[in-house]
């Protein structure tokens, strides 16, 4: 696919919008050869001068004016009712209308998800959307999903997440046959709850075209034991935030250690020249910014609300990788296998002809 | 309470038993003024010489011979049926018999929990045991529970965990009025699942004598936003292991950063003298070793199976703090308030006189 790709940006979403959206787009474009166009949805009066300040945005940018924007504290249900015509709504609607391949917003997560569901609707064969996060591991990134869209999941929904996560990892992290694990706890007696156990059985029964490796535990995520880690949105969100908190705690200790004495300060100033910056870059959340909404008829990328231009550029890179991939078509085969397996299992469980869904 | 305390040790449990158990006891005793006695349960022929090698153990140690030990891979149900008379069983039974105030084992977690439940039984007013972990935060430690005993919990069980965790934190981490938070996810639309929401309502309705602060999120754990964090065993176990994995990942990056160039190596050798060691000590899992089983008629401490003598000594210190506290009596008041609230709510919900438990 070498046709021109169009990214649709909610230019008013996020704590530091529209500045970081426009600056982020400029960072994103630097040295990029892939032909893209950008739709900026937002206040024309503000956006015009910002975009003009970046010559690299000239010619490939289009401003689509919107009068309103979604408040960071708006409830999702409110957002759906009241935000028609807002910059966020229009950014997603442009994907629905075929004007763009992917939408990106640093705005209110719940509102973005609600608007995305209304505008784009679920892809056939997927029951609930998931948010996929890229997670730093020793060699690159792993993919963790769901990190917050669904607090409760059925076994079949977890299998759908596995299917989408696998295709996402291939699209964004460029691995031909990613390995997939199901997040569980390790105590022998308590080998998971029923939902996780049933999801494991269903993946195996469905004969998916997938490199499935069974259960993984919490420490396996950061170790990168499998490329994709599947869990419900409650556990995934807690895990993601726990990792962020832990990284911050350790970084704080490191800072203390490097300023605890004269010798430590000398050492730190030596390190400042290179190694520490490299370490900081690895721990910088801006380098992993961009949760992707999967399962809709179209791709939406959620940037962290407090991100800076570099972080927004990362979200745009992820958006481009998704737009440039065959993600939406790729998941169809496995979704078909899953559906067939569920029908088969339902028939087996109801031999007297009763139709029950698994 | 200044009477002599007795700790009952499963001397054969763990990857490096009985060596680290005896060595750990010696480390634990160093410089300790509180009068304690130790019961070592295990193979007398092995334990005799090991204990004799430590003069500080003389006079306060008693070996109680057992012929067998619980296998690290034994299933909990098997362990209960077949391990009567094993070192683990006898260690717990000594608490039941009043010979000791607390049992400590580095053996098989599931087996230890199953044996503890059979030997000690649940404390009146508590429905399920929980495993409490001490979690490093910027200022000391917080307490997280449950980290693995129950994969599914009712709202009332989460409230019981809150009551036990609060008293545990006071006993072990010496804080008079610990703050308590309920682990949740933050998306506006998805403010938790039903169980968490109902637990929050129940805590408030019960009017507990507790410094309850409402919901916290994953990153709040390592930030130490509240002293106690309450969650179900599935989420807690994933969070704990995710934090361990993340700390290891960051430590690995740090190692790489400190050996990436000549200058980095010079800086690292300067740091070696102090700051790095201090940082390493903070990240050393041996300094947070010891999951405590709460909710039984007696206290059982589970040391990590792969721990060394220093780690086992940490578990013994936690055991001593618990044994030396009024933990079991302290939780009774709040458990009573919880029970009363549940009865009240059940009556309100069943106005026509039907009795249903909430």
Task: Tell me, yes or no, whether A42 and A154 share the same domain.
Answer: no
Task: Tell me, yes or no, whether A100 and A239 share the same domain.
Answer: no
As a whole-number percent, the residues of chain B with pLDDT over 70 amount to 89
Report the alpha-carbon distance of residue B4 to residue B324 in Å, rounded: 10
Q: Is pLDDT of B356 > 80? A: no
Tell me what pLDDT residue B352 has.
55
By the 8 A CB rule, do B320 and B34 touch? yes
Task: Tell me, yes or no, whether A199 and A259 share the same domain.
Answer: yes
How confident is the model over A66-89, as a mean pLDDT? 91
Task: Tell me, yes or no, whether B180 and B252 share the same domain.
Answer: yes
Which whole-number Å values give the CA distances from B83 to A141, B67, B77, in the listed order?
45, 10, 10
Contacts of B151 in chain A (CB under 8 A): 185, 190, 192-193
Contacts of A223 in chain B (CB under 8 A): 245, 248-249
Q: And the tokens for B101? A: 């105030």
Q: Could B270 and A270 be called an inter-chain contact, meaning their C-beta atoms sit closer than 8 Å?
A: yes
Q: Provide the pairing of β-strand A130-137 with A140-145.
A: antiparallel
Tell me what pLDDT residue A203 has.
95
Tell me what pLDDT residue A151 has.
85
Q: CB-based contact (8 Å) between A185 and chain B?
A: yes
Contacts of A235 in chain B (CB under 8 A): 234-235, 238
Tell me what pLDDT residue A351 has.
59
3-state SS class at B53: coil
Task: Tell me, yes or no, whether B87 and B112 share the same domain.
Answer: yes
Question: Which among A242, A248, A253 is the nearest to B279, CB-wise?
Answer: A253
Longest dimension (CA), chain B: 80
Task: Tell me, yes or no, whether A318 and A181 share the same domain.
Answer: no
User: Which tens digits make up the pLDDT trace of A266-275?
Assistant: 777 766 655 6
Q: Could B218 and A235 be called an inter-chain contact, meaning their C-beta atoms sit closer than 8 Å?
A: no
Among the ranges A182-186, A278-282, B118-122, B261-265, which has the highest mean pLDDT value?
Answer: B118-122
Task: Tell me, yes or no, whether A140 and A113 share the same domain.
Answer: no
Query: In chain B, positions 19-38, which contact chain A (CB-CB < 8 Å)?
Result: none
Q: Provide the pairing of β-strand B299-302 with B291-294.
A: antiparallel
Tell me what pLDDT residue A188 has.
47
Report the alpha-carbon distance of residue A92 to residue A112 in Å, rounded: 8
Q: Could B233 and A190 be called an inter-chain contact, meaning their C-beta atoms sit closer than 8 Å?
A: yes
Q: CB-based contact (8 Å) between B108 and chain A?
A: yes
Q: CB-based contact (8 Å) between B306 and chain A?
A: no
Task: Tell me, yes or no, whether A281 and A159 share the same domain.
Answer: yes
Contacts of B274 in chain A (CB under 8 A): 260-261, 263-264
Q: CB-based contact (8 Å) between A244 and chain B?
A: yes
Neighbour tally for A32: CB within 10 Å = 12
Tell me what pLDDT residue B203 has.
95
Q: Could A241 and B231 be called an inter-chain contact, meaning their C-beta atoms sit closer than 8 Å?
A: no
Tell me what pLDDT residue B1 has.
46
Report the alpha-carbon distance of residue B24 to residue B4 in Å, rounded: 20
A contact test, residue of B190, B215, B256 with most A CBs within 10 A: B190
Min Cα–Cα distance to chain B from A341, Å: 27
Contacts of B246 in chain A (CB under 8 A): 222, 242-243, 246-247, 250
- Please count the residue pairs, one from chain A and one from chain B, whose beta carbons lie less than 8 angstroms apart: 240
Q: CB-based contact (8 Å) between A77 and chain B?
A: yes
In a domain, A205, yes or no: yes
Contacts of B241 in chain A (CB under 8 A): 186, 217-220
Q: Could B148 and A185 be called an inter-chain contact, meaning their C-beta atoms sit closer than 8 Å?
A: yes
Contacts of B233 in chain A (CB under 8 A): 185, 190
Contacts of B234 in chain A (CB under 8 A): 185, 192-193, 235
3-state SS class at A186: coil
Q: CB-based contact (8 Å) between B248 and chain A?
A: yes
In a domain, A129, yes or no: no
Q: Could A246 and B241 be called an inter-chain contact, meaning their C-beta atoms sit closer than 8 Å?
A: no
DSSP-based helix, strand, coil % in chain B, nearest 5: 50, 15, 35
In a domain, A38, yes or no: yes
As a whole-number percent, the residues of chain A with pLDDT over 70 amount to 89
Query: In chain B, positions 324-343, which contact chain A (CB-CB < 8 Å)?
Result: none
pLDDT tier at B193, thresholds 50, 70, 90: confident
CA atoms within 13 A on the CB side of A77: 2
Q: CB-based contact (8 Å) between B281 and chain A?
A: no
Q: CB-based contact (8 Å) between A248 and chain B?
A: yes
Please, what is the Cα angle at A148 between A143 and A150, to 5 degrees?
A: 110
Structural domain boundaries enclosing B343:
133-290+326-358
- Looking up residue A82, the CATH number of its domain turns out to be 3.40.718.10
Higher pLDDT, B326 or A23: A23
- Looking up residue A206, the CATH number of its domain turns out to be 3.40.50
DSSP classification of residue A352 = T
Task: Tell me, yes or no, whether B333 and B304 share the same domain.
Answer: no
How confident is the model over B222-251, as a mean pLDDT? 92
Task: Tell me, yes or no, whether A64 and A145 share the same domain.
Answer: no
Min Cα–Cα distance to chain A from B341, Å: 27
User: Which tens digits make up the pLDDT trace of B258-295?
Assistant: 777 777 777 777 666 556 666 666 666 666 778 999 99
In a domain, B128, yes or no: no
Residue position matching structure tokens 């970046």 = A54
In a domain, B127, yes or no: no
Cα B58 off chain centre by: 29
Tell me what pLDDT residue A210 has.
96
Q: Could B223 and A240 be called an inter-chain contact, meaning their C-beta atoms sit closer than 8 Å?
A: no
pLDDT tier at B188, thresholds 50, 70, 90: very low
User: Which tens digits make up the pLDDT trace of A138-148?
Assistant: 888 999 999 98
In a domain, A127, yes or no: no
Cα B72 off chain centre by: 19
Q: CB-based contact (8 Å) between B238 and chain A?
A: yes
> What's the Rg (C-alpha) of chain B?
22
User: Which tens digits make up the pLDDT trace of B32-87?
Assistant: 878 899 999 999 999 999 999 999 998 899 999 999 999 988 888 888 999 999 99
In a domain, A109, yes or no: yes
Backbone angles phi, psi at A10, to 5 degrees: -80, 95
Long-range contacts of B150-154 (CB under 8 A, 24+ apart): B150/A190, B150/B232, B150/B233, B151/A185, B151/A190, B151/A192, B151/A193, B151/B232, B151/B233, B151/B234, B152/A193, B152/B232, B152/B234, B153/B128, B153/B195, B153/B232, B153/B233, B154/B127, B154/B195
Task: Tell me, yes or no, whether B22 and B94 share the same domain.
Answer: yes
Q: Could B223 and A251 be called an inter-chain contact, meaning their C-beta atoms sit closer than 8 Å?
A: no
Report the alpha-carbon distance of residue B70 to residue A91 in Å, rounded: 61
In chain B, the number of structural domains is 2
Q: Could A110 and B190 be called an inter-chain contact, meaning their C-beta atoms sit closer than 8 Å?
A: yes
As a whole-number percent, the residues of chain A with pLDDT over 90 amount to 66
How confident is the model over B295-299, as a mean pLDDT? 94
By the 8 A CB rule, do B111 and B72 touch? no
Q: CB-based contact (8 Å) between A110 and chain B?
A: yes
Residue of A nearest to B136 (CA): A249
User: Which stretches within chain A are classed as H helix?
Assistant: 19-29, 44-52, 76-82, 87-96, 109-120, 155-173, 194-206, 218-223, 233-258, 262-272, 275-283, 309-323, 327-349
Residue of A nearest to B191 (CA): A151
By the 8 A CB rule, do B157 and B332 touch? no
Tell me what pLDDT residue B252 has.
80
Q: Could B233 and A185 be called an inter-chain contact, meaning their C-beta atoms sit closer than 8 Å?
A: yes
A contact test, residue of B80, B135, B224, B238 with most A CBs within 10 A: B238
State the DSSP string of A284-340: -GGGG--EEEESBSSEEEE--TT--HHHHHHHHHHHHHHHTS-HHHHHHHHHHHHHH
When mean pLDDT is compared across A52-56, A225-229, A251-255, B239-243, the lowest value belongs to A251-255
Q: Could B246 and A109 be called an inter-chain contact, meaning their C-beta atoms sit closer than 8 Å?
A: no
By the 8 A CB rule, do B308 and B15 touch? no
Report the alpha-carbon distance of residue B308 to residue B15 in Å, rounded: 9
Q: Could B151 and A185 be called an inter-chain contact, meaning their C-beta atoms sit closer than 8 Å?
A: yes
Average pLDDT, chain B: 88
If we measure between CA atoms, which residue out of B244, B184, B181 comes closest to residue B218? B184
Average pLDDT, chain A: 88
Q: Is pLDDT of A103 > 90? A: yes
In a domain, A266, yes or no: yes
As a whole-number percent, the residues of chain B with pLDDT over 90 amount to 66
Task: Tell me, yes or no, whether A157 and A239 share the same domain.
Answer: yes
């Amino acid at each position: 696919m070498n046709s021109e790709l169009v990214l649709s940006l909610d230019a008013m979403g996020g704590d530091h919008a529209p500045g970081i959206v426009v600056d982020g787009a400029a960072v994103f474009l630097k040295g990029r050869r892939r032909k893209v166009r950008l739709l900026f949805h937002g206040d024309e009066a503000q956006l015009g001068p910002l975009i003009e300040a970046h010559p690299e945005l000239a010619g490939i940018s289009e401003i689509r004016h919107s009068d309103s924007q979604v408040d960071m504290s708006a409830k999702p249900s409110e957002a759906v009712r009241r935000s028609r015509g807002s910059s966020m709504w229009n950014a997603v609607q442009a994907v629905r209308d075929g004007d763009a391949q992917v939408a990106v917003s640093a705005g209110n997560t719940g509102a973005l998800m609600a608007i995305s569901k209304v505008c784009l609707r679920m892809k056939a064969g997927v029951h609930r959307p998931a948010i996929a996060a890229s997670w730093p591991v020793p060699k690159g990134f792993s993919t963790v999903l769901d990190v917050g869209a669904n607090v409760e999941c059925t076994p079949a929904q977890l299998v759908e997440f596995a299917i989408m996560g696998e295709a996402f990892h291939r699209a964004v992290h460029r691995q031909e046959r990613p390995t997939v694990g199901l997040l569980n706890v390790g105590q022998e007696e308590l080998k998971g709850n029923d939902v996780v156990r049933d999801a494991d059985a269903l993946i195996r029964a469905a004969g998916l075209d997938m490199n499935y490796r069974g259960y993984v535990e919490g420490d396996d995520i950061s170790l990168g034991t499998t490329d994709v880690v599947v869990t419900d949105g409650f556990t995934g969100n807690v895990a993601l935030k726990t990792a962020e908190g832990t990284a911050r705690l350790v970084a704080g200790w490191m800072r203390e250690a490097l300023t605890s004495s004269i010798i430590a300060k000398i050492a730190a100033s030596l390190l400042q020249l290179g190694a520490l910056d490299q370490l900081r870059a690895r721990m910088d959340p801006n380098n992993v910014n961009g949760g992707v909404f999967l399962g809709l008829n179209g791709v939406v990328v959620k940037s962290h609300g407090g991100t800076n231009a570099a972080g927004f550029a990362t979200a745009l890179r992820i958006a481009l990788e998704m737009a440039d991939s065959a993600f939406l078509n790729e998941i169809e085969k496995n979704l078909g296998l899953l559906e067939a397996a569920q029908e088969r299992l339902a028939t087996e469980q109801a031999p007297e002809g009763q139709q029950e869904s698994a």
